[in-house]
C-alpha cells in the first residue's frame, strides 16, 4: 500500500529536503533528528563535536532510515567544511550555543563568542548562498519584564500587558554591564538583529525561534556522571542531580523567579511545522513555550520532589529544599529575569501550534528517564566516594 503524500498546512505536497543541523548532538538536536528520521522523508547532515545523544540514530546501518542522517564531526569555530555542508543543504538549523546560566558570568567571553561570533559565518554562508536559515535564539532576549520595575504593591504588576512577552512588541530590557549574566541574552539579541537585517537588506529567508524552557529526556548532563563534576547544568538537571543523590534542592534567592516549561516533544512539533511550512514561517520570530505551565522555581522544586518520589518509590527528604544566595551559587555578576511568559498569538496564527503536555506529565516523563538512566551510576559513584569504615 502506497504511503499517503504528506502535505503542509496549505495542502501542498511536502518535498523531501536536506537539512544541515548545527548542534545536532545536543538536547534539542537529538529530539529533532529523531522526529525527522521517524516521521519525515528529510535528510539530515548532523554537525556537532559530540554525537553521544544521537548514536542510536547513526548505527547500525540497518535502521529504517538508512543513510538519511550523516554525522559530521565539526567544530564550527574553525572548519572550512561548514560552508560546503550549508551549500549542500536546502535549510540550515543553527542550535549551537553555550546556554547554561552558570557559564554566563563565569565564562562571559566564551558565552559571547559562542552565541554571536561563532554564529556569524553560519548567517553569512546562508545569505550568500541563498539558503534558508532557522536560527535558535532564547526567551532571555526579553530580559526583565516592564512589570518588574513597578512598585511591589502596584496592581499593574497583575496586568498581562506588563509581563506577557510578545515577539513584535515587548522591549528587550537587560541589567547593567557589570551584571555579566546578560552576556548571553545580549549576544543572542545581537545575532537576532543581524539575521533580521540580512533578511531586510539581502533577502535571507529566516525564522528565529525563542524557546521558553524546553524540558525532557537527555537535557544537559548529570555532574560527575556524563558531565564535569564541578559543572552546574540548568535548573531541571540541577534538581534531578540533587534528587538522584538524595540531597536537598538548592533554591537560588528563595526560588522566587517565575518560569514556564514546555515538553520537548511538543516543542519539536512546532519546529517541524516551521521546517515544512516555509511560506508561513519565513521572516517570523516565534515564541515556543507553554504559558499554562507557569510556576515559581520553588514550586517546581516541590513538584519535582513529589514526582521523583513516585517514580523512584523513595520517600522525599525531610528537608527537601535549602535556600542559597545567587552570589554563592553563581558567583559575582548574577542577575535574573522575574517572569517569562510567552504570548502565543503569532505561532498559533501562522502554524496553528499549541502545546499539549501538562507540567506534571512532562516532569513524570523526564524524571522517569533520569531515574532509569542515572540512578545506578549515581549510587555507584556515591559508594566509591564514601570510604568504608
Q: What are phi and psi of 258, to 5 degrees?
A: -105, 140
d(CA 123, CA 204): 9
d(CA 358, CA 348): 18
Question: To which residue does cell 505536497 refer?
Answer: 13
d(CA 82, CA 45): 11
d(CA 86, CA 100): 27
Is-contact 110 185, C-beta < 8 A? no
Of the residues 104, 125, 184, 374, only one is catalytic, namely 184
Instruction: Give which of 76, 9, 78, 77 is closest to 45, Cα–Cα.
Output: 76
d(CA 185, CA 9): 33
DSSP lists the bridge partners of residue 78 as none
Name the 3-class secondary structure at 83.
Answer: helix
Query: b/e per residue, 74-93, with b = 16+ CB within 10 A?
Result: bebeeeeebbebbeebbbbb
Is-contact 150 162, C-beta < 8 A? yes
Check if 113 is active-site.
no
Please give the positions annotated as active site.
184
Amino acid at each position: 500500500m502506497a504511503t499517503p503524500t504528506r502535505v503542509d498546512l496549505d495542502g501542498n505536497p511536502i518535498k523531501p529536503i536536506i537539512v544541515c543541523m548545527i548542534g545536532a548532538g545536543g538536547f534539542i538536536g537529538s529530539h529533532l533528528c529523531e522526529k525527522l528520521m521517524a516521521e519525515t522523508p528529510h535528510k539530515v547532515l548532523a554537525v556537532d563535536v559530540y554525537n553521544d545523544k544521537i548514536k542510536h540514530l547513526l548505527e547500525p546501518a540497518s535502521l529504517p532510515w538508512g543513510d538519511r542522517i550523516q554525522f559530521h564531526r565539526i567544530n564550527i569555530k574553525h572548519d572550512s567544511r561548514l560552508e560546503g555542508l550549508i551549500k549542500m543543504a536546502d535549510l540550515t538549523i543553527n542550535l549551537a550555543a553555550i546556554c547554561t546560566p552558570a557559564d554566563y558570568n563565569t565564562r562571559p567571553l566564551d558565552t559571547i563568542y559562542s552565541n554571536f561570533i561563532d554564529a556569524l559565518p553560519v548567517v553569512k554562508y546562508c545569505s550568500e548562498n541563498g539558503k534558508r536559515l532557522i536560527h535558535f535564539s532564547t526567551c532571555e532576549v526579553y530580559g526583565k519584564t516592564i512589570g518588574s520595575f513597578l512598585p511591589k504593591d502596584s496592581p499593574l504588576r497583575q496586568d498581562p500587558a506588563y509581563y506577557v512577552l510578545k515577539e513584535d512588541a515587548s522591549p528587550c530590557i537587560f541589567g547593567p554591564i557589570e551584571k555579566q549574566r546578560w552576556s548571553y541574552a545580549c549576544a543572542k539579541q545581537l545575532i537576532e538583529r543581524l539575521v533580521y537585517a540580512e533578511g531586510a537588506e539581502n533577502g535571507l529567508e529566516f525564522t528565529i525561534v525563542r524557546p521558553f524552557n524546553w524540558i525532557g529526556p537527555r537535557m544537559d548532563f548529570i555532574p560527575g556522571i556524563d558531565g564535569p563534576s564541578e559543572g552546574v547544568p540548568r535548573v531541571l538537571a540541577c534538581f534531578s542531580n540533587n534528587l538522584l543523590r538524595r540531597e536537598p534542592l538548592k533554591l537560588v534567592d528563595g526560588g522566587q523567579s517565575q518560569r514556564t516549561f514546555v515538553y520537548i516533544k511538543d516543542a519539536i512539533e512546532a519546529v517541524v511545522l516551521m521546517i515544512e511550512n516555509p511560506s508561513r514561517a519565513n521572516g517570523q520570530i516565534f515564541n515556543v513555550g507553554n504559558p499554562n505551565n507557569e510556576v515559581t522555581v520553588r514550586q517546581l522544586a516541590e513538584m519535582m520532589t513529589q514526582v521523583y518520589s513516585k517514580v523512584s518509590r523513595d520517600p522525599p527528604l525531610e528537608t527537601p529544599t535549602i535556600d542559597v544566595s545567587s552570589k554563592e551559587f553563581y558567583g559575582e555578576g548574577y542577575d535574573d529575569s522575574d517572569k517569562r511568559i510567552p504570548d502565543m498569538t503569532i505561532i498559533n496564527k501562522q502554524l496553528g501550534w499549541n502545546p499539549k503536555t501538562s507540567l506534571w506529565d512532562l516532569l513524570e516523563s523526564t524524571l522517569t528517564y533520569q531515574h532509569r538512566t542515572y540512578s545506578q551510576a549515581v549510587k555507584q559513584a556515591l559508594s566509591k566516594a564514601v570510604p568504608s569504615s
